[in-house]
Amino acid sequence: MSYEPKLAAALSGATLRQLSHWRRAAGVRGAVLVPEISAARPILYSFRDVVALRACVRLRQEASLQKIRQALDTLRDGMDEREHLSTYRLVAGGDTIYLADPEHAVDLVHRKGNIVIHDMVDVLAPFYRGGRMIPDLLEPRPHVSINPAVRGGEPVVDGTRIPSAEVAALLRDGVRPEQIADYYPGVSAEAARDAADFANYVDSYTDAEIRQVAS
């Protein structure tokens, strides 16, 4: 499963403009995150990319983009850490960004080590950004789930392999939630409503902003 920019934005909390800026700045070097599946049109992000993007969005709430890039340069070049960005736990604090484990951290901006971190952020958990609730990554709605082991991470109706987007499309075509079991036995009306609600949320990352990014 690969994630188009609109879905990657909806799941990470980044705007489409941020995704474009973060992947293009100064080429691969200096970019915050280059999609590992496809960095050229069609742009496609991986599940790991989405996890990393959520971390970057959380960092951006507390730190400047300049500091984030400085921290990433230290991580990649100063420490020669070349694994995918989702592998690392990055935490903003004070005027810096730390590479953290459960007990200690390294200051990536000022390059000081052995600092104790007390507040570790779970990047998979829901959070607020700009007045909008960014959903839990693995359960964006009560009856919609994302699991890399199920259809490659495509959002599905919980407990099934049925893509939630297909259920939402039926409701948009006029099928009532109570009738959805005629098409997908075992999918409840409540699950169908959640699928439609999630689709509406994803589509909120669209229109004018997509046209700006595509231009």
From the centroid of its chain, how far is CA 102? 22
> CA separation (Å) from 201 to 3, 10, 42, 53, 195?
15, 7, 22, 18, 10
Check: CB of residue 34 under 8 Å from CB of residue 20. no
Q: What pTM did the predictor assign?
A: 0.88
> CA separation (Å) from 18 to 57, 67, 81, 108, 122?
9, 16, 24, 22, 21
- pLDDT score at 151: 96
Statement: residue 208 has pLDDT above 50: no
- pLDDT score at 130: 82
Distance in angstroms (rounded) separating the CA atoms of residues 184 and 178: 11
> 10 Å Cβ neighbour count for 165?
17
Q: Which residue has the tokens 């959520």?
A: 54
**pLDDT tens-place string over residues 115-144:** 554 455 688 999 998 888 999 999 999 999
**pLDDT tens-place string over residues 47-66:** 999 999 999 999 999 999 88
Q: Does domain 138-215 have CATH number 1.10.357.10?
A: no
* Residue-wise burial string across 59-80, b where 16 or more C-beta atoms lie within 10 A, e elsewhere: bbeebeeebbbbbbebbeeeee
What confidence tier does 154 reach under pLDDT thresholds 50, 70, 90? very high
**pLDDT tens-place string over residues 156-166:** 999 999 999 99
Greater confidence (145 vs 80) lies with 145
Average pLDDT across the chain, whole number = 88
Torsion sign over Cα 110, 112, 118, 121 = positive
